[in-house]
Structure 1
Amino acid sequence: MRIALRIALAASAALLTLGVAQAQEKTLRIGTEGAYPPFNNLTSDGQLVGFDIDIAKALCDEMKVKCTFVAQDWDGIIPALTTKKIDAIVSSMSITAEREKTIDFSDKYYNTPTAIIGPKDQKFGATPDDLKGKVIGVQVSTVHAVYAKKHFTGAQEIKEYQTQDEANNDLAAGRIDAVQADSIALGEFLKSDQGKACCDLKGMVAPDDEVLGPGVGAGIRKEDTALKEKFNAGIKAIRANGKYDEISKKYFDFDIYGGATQSN
Structure 2
Amino acid sequence: MSLFTRLAAAAVLVAAATTGVSAKEWKTVRIGTEGAYPPFNYVENNELKGFDIDIAKALCEKMKVTCTFTAQDWDGIIPALLAGKYDAIVASMSITEERKQQIAFSKKYYNTPANFVAPKDTKITDTSPEALKGKVLGAQGSTIHSNYLEDVYAKAGAEVKLYGKQDEANLDLANGRLDAILADKVVLLEWMGTKEGECCKFVGSEYKDPKYFGEGVGVGIRKDDAELVAMFNKAIDEIVADGTYKKINDKYFPFSVY
Q: Could you say which TM-score interval applies, normalised by the shorter chain?
A: 0.7 to 0.9
**SS of corresponding position for 1:145:** helix
Pairwise mapping of residues 110-129 of structure 1 onto structure 2 (< 5 A)? 110-124=110-124, 125-129=126-130
**SS of corresponding position for 2:94:** coil
CA contact (8 A) 2:109 2:236 kept: yes
Q: In structure 1, what residue type is equivalent to 2:70? A: V
Pairwise mapping of residues 173-252 of structure 1 onto structure 2 (< 5 A)? 173-196=175-198, 198-252=199-253
Pairwise mapping of residues 29-178 of structure 1 onto structure 2 (< 5 A)? 29-43=30-44, 45-124=45-124, 125-152=126-153, 153-178=155-180
CA contact (8 A) 1:113 1:204 kept: no
Q: Output one character per residue of 1:28-83: Cα deviation in whole Å (capped at 9) or x when no partner.
A: 1100000000000011x210010000000000000000001100000100001111
After the TM superposition, which segments of 4 or more aligned residues of structure 1 sit over 6 Å from their partners?
none
**SS of corresponding position for 2:107:** strand
Query: Residue 205 of structure 1: CA displacement?
Result: 4.5
In 2, Cα distance between equivalents of 1:128 and 1:250: 36
TM-score, length-scaled by structure 2: 0.87
CA contact (8 A) 2:27 2:64 kept: no
Query: Residue 163 of structure 1: CA displacement?
Result: 0.1
After superposition, the Cα gap between the structure-2 partners of 1:149 and 1:205, relative to the gap in structure 1 and judged at 3 Å, is: farther
CA contact (8 A) 1:134 1:156 kept: yes
In 2, Cα distance between equivalents of 1:155 and 1:73: 30
Query: Residue 90 of structure 1: CA displacement?
Result: 0.3
**SS of corresponding position for 2:247:** helix
CA contact (8 A) 2:39 2:252 kept: yes
After superposition, the Cα gap between the structure-2 partners of 1:207 and 1:243, relative to the gap in structure 1 and judged at 3 Å, is: closer
After superposition, the Cα gap between the structure-2 partners of 1:25 and 1:206, relative to the gap in structure 1 and judged at 3 Å, is: closer
Query: Residue 224 of structure 1: CA displacement?
Result: 0.4
CA contact (8 A) 1:33 1:71 kept: yes
| Cα-Cα RMSD | 1.3
Q: In structure 2, what residue type is equivalent to 1:214? A: E
**SS of corresponding position for 1:98:** helix
Q: In structure 2, what residue type is equivalent to 1:186? A: L
In 1, Cα distance between equivalents of 2:224 and 2:25: 19
In 2, Cα distance between equivalents of 1:204 and 1:143: 17
Query: Residue 151 of structure 1: CA displacement?
Result: 1.6
Unaligned runs of 5+ in 1: 1-22, 258-264
Q: In structure 1, what residue type is equivalent to 2:228? A: L
**SS of corresponding position for 2:172:** helix
In 1, Cα distance between equivalents of 2:53 and 2:252: 12
How many percent of aligned residue pairs carry the same amino acid? 55
Q: In structure 1, what residue type is equivalent to 2:165? A: T
Unaligned runs of 5+ in 2: 1-23
In 1, Cα distance between equivalents of 2:111 and 2:207: 15
Query: Residue 209 of structure 1: CA displacement?
Result: 1.2
Query: Residue 210 of structure 1: CA displacement?
Result: 1.4
Q: In structure 1, what residue type is equivalent to 2:187? A: A
CA contact (8 A) 1:88 1:221 kept: yes
In 2, Cα distance between equivalents of 1:126 and 1:255: 26
